[in-house]
Amino acid sequence: MSILSFIGQIFEPAAKLVDDLHTSGEEKLALKAKLLEIQTGVITKSIELEKASLEARSSIIMAETQSDSWLTKSWRPILMLSLAASVLAYWFGLTPTDPATGLSTIPLELANRMFSLVQIGVGGYVASRGAEKIVPKIVEAMKAKEKI
């Protein structure tokens, strides 16, 4: 569930309560407008917090990649390769099995979660590599446009 739908669900009972009030239409509209204003404020604050969180994560990753330590630079790729190898081993039946049932000792839910992490890691890598190649070209084009 996204944070926006969660916030909407929080304010939904209050909006229904306003509808059930025995008051004039104008007063109901004024109350609904105030409720919508509060809901918009909450959504804005939650988006600002999410933005700050993403910026903090980004700065951590940038600091890791610019580090002089080989281990600091490489721990994320090593983790992704390990998870990918584990998922592939699971898919090809190379994981330890229970002798009584013949089933893998790694639960399917855990394998699915590892695969999700691999997807996120590969997606982030592809996006960062794409940006790494595209951004310099955009900057060059913008500089060339300024010279014209």
pTM: 0.48
pLDDT, tens digit, 9 for 90 and up, residues 42-95: 888 888 888 888 778 777 877 877 888 888 888 888 888 888 888 888 888 888
The reported pLDDT for the residue numbered 23 is: 74
The reported pLDDT for the residue numbered 83 is: 86
Residue 97, φ and ψ in degrees, nearest 5: -120, 155
Residue 72 one-letter amino acid:
T
Q: Does position 143 have pLDDT exceeding 80, yes or no?
A: no
Residue 124 vs residue 81, higher pLDDT? 81
Show me where the domains of the chain are located. 3-54, 69-147
The reported pLDDT for the residue numbered 127 is: 60
